[in-house]
Amino acid sequence: AAVRSRPRRAWRWGNLLVSFAHSVLAGLWALLSLWNSSELLGDIQDGYCVSGHLLVCFSSGYFIHDSLDIIMNHQSRSSWEYLVHHAMAISAFVSLIVTGRFLVAAMLLLLVEVSNIFLTARMLLKMSNVPSPALYELNKYVNLVMYFAFRLAPQAYLTWYFLRYVEVQGQGAFLMANLLLLDAMILMYFSRLLRSDFFPSLHKAPAGRDVDGEKFLID
């Protein structure tokens, strides 16, 4: 009832459910691929496995689908940050698919989808006005742990690796720029998460702001 009452909220709900399904599939896929091919971690630039290649193709398809869903449902203005993120991901992943290089880096980045399972669940719980605060509280702390383990840690390691070992030219330079932009976005959303869930006194949403159509972490 809380979702159906407003059209934009209904769209956001359906869109987030698709995001949740992608996070479950891609997150577990990335974990299993890296577990079964752990030797690839020693060759981030040129390591290759079919499972990782298919995972990158699958996630590229999701990012394209989600971008089209946002645009065709006239949500570009409220979800512009998501479109920027998707454009970065699609362009980077297409370059990996074509060249076959840095696929292991993409697999490490896609570990973020494990964290997204709990981040998306957080947003769904908020939207549905679940009457059990304990469920939201539990997810809040699990989400924080997963954010560190599967978003901040892999991102920090890859940034260090690229700065130290990857030649800054051609594809390496392009991926480096994408990675640094993604670093900035991740830190910005982490600060929003902390303010909203752990320091609510510092979080002041603009009066009258309608966030029903926004996909990224605002509230």
Q: How far is CA 123 from CA 97, 116, 130, in A?
A: 32, 10, 11
Flag whether pLDDT at 202 surpasses 80.
no
Token output for 145: 């742990």
Residue 3 lies in a domain: yes
Torsional class of 46: left (φ above 0), alpha (ψ -120 to 50), beta (otherwise):
alpha
Residue 209 lies in a domain: no
Range of the structural domain that residue 121 is part of:
1-197
pLDDT tens digits, 37-72: 999 999 999 999 999 999 999 999 999 999 999 999
Tell me the C-alpha distance between 174 and 58, whole Å. Answer: 22
For residue 6, the model assigns a pLDDT of 79
Residue 171 lies in a domain: yes
Flag whether pLDDT at 216 surpasses 90.
no
Residue 207 lies in a domain: no
Residue 72 lies in a domain: yes
Whether 191 contacts 144, CB under 8 Å:
no
Residue 211 lies in a domain: no
Residue 130 lies in a domain: yes
pTM, whole model, 2 decimals?
Answer: 0.89
What is the tally of structural domains in the chain? 1
pLDDT tens digits, 145-180: 999 999 999 999 999 999 999 988 889 999 999 999
Residue 108 lies in a domain: yes
